Amino acid sequence: MTIVLGYVPTPQGEAALAAAIAEATAHGQRLLAVNMSRDDKLVDASRAGEEDLGRLRARLTGSGVEHELRRIEHGSDAAEQILALLASEQARMLVIGLRHRTPVGKLLLGSTAQRLLLEAPCPVLAVKAAG
């Protein structure tokens, strides 16, 4: 089975990466790291640049886990793309990073994270960055 990591080049993404590597190592499973870029934004902070992807590849290779890195370059609905990927990969787990929210922000978790937590067909491990 596969552990899917929703990766973004942020401290939250790095925390999710560490958790995903730990899960893949502990259970001897393949890790699929996914980064998505939205069509409807000229600048997308979630999009990993080549330097980010190079660091991610190096960290995955250094971890020793079987892995694949996939970038989805199209689509405007990240949750929809990841949910479809979870189904097609028959994922055992999804790992995502969450950022700290203000009290008002807690009401609105974030449409992508909220949809993934509520609709994923597998367990979701949501982690926060240290500090």
Domains of the chain from N-terminus onward: 2-128 (3.40.50.620)
Euclidean distance between CA atoms 102 and 6, whole angstroms: 23
**Following DSSP, what letter does each residue of 39-62 receive, concatenated?**
TT-SS-TTS--HHHHHHHHHHHHH
C-alpha–C-alpha distance, residues 52 and 58, integer Å: 10
For the segment 24-56, what is each residue's pLDDT rounded down to a tens digit?
999 999 999 998 865 544 445 566 778 988 999
Collapsing DSSP to helix, strand or coil, 95 comes out as strand
> Tens digits of per-residue pLDDT, 55-98?
999 999 999 999 999 988 766 688 899 999 999 999 999 999 98
Q: Is the Cβ–Cβ distance between 33 and 69 less than 8 Å?
A: yes
Radius of gyration, CA atoms only, the chain:
14
For the chain, give the percent of residues with pLDDT over 90.
58
The per-residue pLDDT for 104 is 55
